[in-house]
Structure 1
């Protein structure tokens, strides 16, 4: 049995995270295990396991129905797994929709989801007219200065929106930084079913986005078209709106929404 005093002094944040993840792996493999069994497998003192289990239990990732009984995975694991599965489904179902829209319009197509105080690109398709081949997948973008962000903000209450968009940074001279004006634009996007943002994140870049819903009718993502502002002028925006909204409806239907 490792010495408790040495074990406590040898801890670091990285070691603590590693132990927590290993405990989850042990429980996934074994179904349930006692603190002593886990301690033996980790090679640490039982009190160290107890502290780590308590931290995991605070987030519902593990549970210990009896104070001295075995530990097992908690409902928080299902929540995380569900979120991961939903995102994988979104990408899988969205891939053919994105490619078809990019081919039809010639522009870049992106799918984004809310990720804390940003929008996260989870998929992209490049159209034949695309000037750059930069891959935005995995990139975080501000909520207030992008069409995807304004669509995603529409799923939140006014108080939640203000907390989510945080400090309203001006990326260009056209970026909307007044909360009241931004609130109006988010409400407008929600009521009309799409958002258009011109030259607010980058001068010369225009994007338009529409909402994607899941089987429960919840707004879970946005799909956008983007390109140079000289090409996506107001007349072209009007032409692109119909295929964009069809693609958003198609992806929503693939996710089980029939609204």
Structure 2
């Protein structure tokens, strides 16, 4: 849970404090269940239900597709994106993208995680004639991209299950991951290596590698990605590029803390 940001108020309002605690908890978990909230707050389930109902009414949370849990609502994600824009993370990180583009001579992206979706918010295309096209402004299923898998690797196994309650997953290409168990294996590899890869899983003819920013030290879950035509890369190249990505992420994180 996030640390306290200021001194304790002289006249605290418990219901407001509990509602804010729920939102902070949602920042750490992809979904919340009524019993989880009641246990965390130390209140009766009826009290937790009233708090969740008010947050739901204001659009800060919404019920998941299965209806048994709550996830971030449009009001909450809207606030998050507004804060992100004011923080202007793209301007802060764009020079690092330029450096990656210059060093690797390949297309590079900055992506953020929104639920099970990756949104590409900045990109620079490779200077080479044959190159991967920019995905700036596009959204893709997180499990089909190296960018998404790198960020999903920062979730706990329980949170990953809550984010993907079903075993079957929809894909974009014949190589896309289509089972949650397979995604779990990929995510575990990404945790161990410190980077994630994708081979023609989001687009045929494209391979990529990505390194995520430390989630607890950034305003949102983010990752740098390098995308390369399959015809001119191999595992050794991806490892080398991932090392460059990791070093760049480490340096850039210091500006976001």
Same fold (TM over 0.5): yes
CA distance in 1, matches of 2:226, 2:138: 16
After superposition, the C-alpha distances for 1:115-174 in whole angstroms (9 at most, x for unaligned) are: 232100011012322635744222101111110010121232334324435651233332
SS at match of 2:217: coil
CA distance in 1, matches of 2:56, 2:242: 48
The range that moved more, 105-114 or 231-240, is: 231-240
Unaligned runs of 5+ in 1: 1-54, 62-75
Is the CA contact (8 Å cut-off) linking 1:213 and 1:255 kept in structure 2? no
TM-score, scaled to structure 1: 0.63
- CA pair 231-117 structure 1, distance change in 2 beyond 3 A: same
Matches within 5 A, 1:82-93: 83-87=81-85, 88-93=87-92
Name the residue aligned to 1:8: none
CA distance in 1, matches of 2:211, 2:186: 14
CA distance in 2, matches of 1:210, 1:114: 13
CA distance in 2, matches of 1:169, 1:214: 26
Is the CA contact (8 Å cut-off) linking 2:84 and 2:219 kept in structure 1? no
CA distance in 2, matches of 1:232, 1:170: 23
Name the residue aligned to 2:70: none
* Number of residues of Structure 1 aligned to a counterpart in Structure 2: 189
Is the CA contact (8 Å cut-off) linking 1:215 and 1:255 kept in structure 2? no
Q: Does 2:146 correspond to 1:147?
A: yes
Give 1:203 shift. Answer: 2.0
Give 1:219 shift. Answer: 6.8
Give 1:79 shift. Answer: 8.4
**Root mean square deviation of aligned Cα:** 3.1
Name the residue aligned to 1:244: 245
SS at match of 1:230: helix
Unaligned runs of 5+ in 2: 1-53, 61-73
After superposition, the C-alpha distances for 1:88-110 in whole angstroms (9 at most, x for unaligned) are: 43212110000110011000110
Is the CA contact (8 Å cut-off) linking 2:131 and 2:229 kept in structure 1? no
CA distance in 1, matches of 2:90, 2:130: 24
CA distance in 2, matches of 1:137, 1:78: 23
